[in-house]
Amino acid sequence: MVKEKLSEQQLKELQRQLKLYKQGVQEIIPTEELEEKLAKSILLNKPLKIKLGLDPSAPDVHLGHTVVLKKLKQFQDNGHTIQLLIGDFTGKIGDPTGKSIARKPLTDEEVKHNAQTYFEQFGKVLDMEKVELHYNSTWLSQLKFDDVIQLAGKITIARLMERDDFEERIAFGKPISLHEFFYPVMQGYDSVVLECDIELGGTDQHFNVLMGRHFQEKFGKTKQIALLMPLLEGLDGVEKMSKSKNNYIGINEPANEMYGKAMSIPDELMVKYFTLITPLTPEEITEIEEGLVKRTLHPRDVKMQLAKLIVQMYHDEEAAEKAEQQFITIFQKGEVPEELPTMTWTGPTSITIVQLLVDTGLLPSKSEAKRMIAGGAIKIDGKKIITDMETTTISHNMIVSVGKRKFMKLLLKN
């Protein structure tokens, strides 16, 4: 037990860090080893290596990602080393079965570009200058068939089939290609190469993160600890926040958009959001929670506090203030906000609404425009558009609105 060798002050530091890292965590496997590793790190004044694996194909960072990023930040603030691992090797391979068109192989340039996009966004949470960047193609692309066989000899089929999604697909008779068994193997091997002390991930990474422990042990290395964070439900309150479910708040979104989206977080998730993605202390959060239970706090006010906090984190105090004001103006007073984006209209004066929505850049495509009209989301000067066959005549200061938060004021040239 290294702990016994610590001075009183060091012991205090150990307790402080342990308490911090355990905040909001879903699972630590195993907790005792975390304490031991931390104690050793403090005793020898040697930072721990904390790994986070990233998929290079989807570099849009949203609040769901920040759950893990915030946890990384705590480690970074205490002097530990963050290892960001871009899993570019699989990205560059693409889908060998050729079934998934979406999984085209990424080029080196795409990988670099996507990684860059990640890092710019991560910079809003982490001090990127202190972060180690790794690409697993560095070592994986060097492995030859006999290395792969040696690696594959260190894990059983039964162990791999324990992964939930594999188990499920086997149960339902859905095919699994042999190469898919290598994805967790690679992730485990990455930890061998990087000699990670701790790997972070969402609870959905439970199996994959434990592969790191497995392979490190097989390669005679010290085993990493799995630190798994809860998954953040998205704005629908049901599914994990993700881009594909369109239930996310991106950390690069404009302040008003961010604030508005945050106001649609379900009430019952507010405390979870405070806990996992804001810098509030456990004590502050408990206070809010109690206020809600005792009804001394109005849920709407609490949500406005959350929305403002989120904008503040990814923009600034001023932007948060403005976003709040705009929200109050539109929703609480039912008005159109004062400061609207404007566009000087140079197109035809008579135009279909569908074309107008696309030409103003409010919507990406005609089909999307038709869908939004059908959904009753489009208004011109406050009048709802009923059919996508409709044509309009552009007038000066005409306001086109999409849903409750997107506006465009058209200006005609002199």
In sequence order, what DSSP letters do the residues of 323-365 get, joined into one string? HHHHHIIIIIS-PPPSS--EEEE-S-SEEEHHHHHHHTTSSS-
Q: Compute how many other C-beta atoms are within 10 angstroms of the C-beta atom of residue 67.
A: 22
* Closer residue to a copy of itself (CB): 130 or 174: 174
Within 209-228, the residues that bind a copy of itself by CB under 8 A are none
Residue with tokens 């984190």: 313
145 binds a copy of itself (CB under 8 A): yes
Biggest CA pair distance of the chain: 81
Q: Pairing state of beta strands 383-384 and 81-86?
A: unpaired
Is 243 marked as a binding-site residue? yes
d(CA 110, CA 61): 17
146 binds a copy of itself (CB under 8 A): yes
Q: Which of 20, 29, 133, 152 binds a copy of itself (CB under 8 A)?
A: 152
Q: How far is the CB of 88 from a copy of itself (least distance, A)?
A: 12
* Closer residue to a copy of itself (CB): 174 or 384: 174
Only one of the segments 80-88, 143-151, 231-239, 325-333 lies at the binding site for a copy of itself (rule: CB under 8 A); that segment is 143-151
176 binds a copy of itself (CB under 8 A): yes
d(CA 148, CA 141): 11
- Residue 372 tokens read as 């939004």
d(CA 54, CA 56): 6
Q: Please name which of 118, 117, 122, 35 lies closest in space to residue 70, comparing C-alpha atoms.
A: 122
Q: Pairing state of beta strands 406-412 and 398-402?
A: antiparallel
3-state secondary structure of 393: strand
272 binds a copy of itself (CB under 8 A): no
142 binds a copy of itself (CB under 8 A): yes
Within 60-119, the residues that bind a copy of itself by CB under 8 A are 89-90, 92-93, 95-98
Only one of the segments 156-164, 222-230, 295-303, 367-375 lies at the binding site for a copy of itself (rule: CB under 8 A); that segment is 156-164
Omega prior to 341 cis, within 30 of 0? no
Q: Which of 109, 144, 244, 293 binds a copy of itself (CB under 8 A)?
A: 144
Q: Which of 102, 109, 171, 175 binds a copy of itself (CB under 8 A)?
A: 175
Only one of the segments 31-39, 178-186, 256-264, 341-349 lies at the binding site for a copy of itself (rule: CB under 8 A); that segment is 178-186
Residue with tokens 């990814």: 314
Which residues contribute to the site for a copy of itself (CB under 8 A)?
89-90, 92-93, 95-98, 140-158, 160-161, 170, 173, 175-179, 181-182, 185
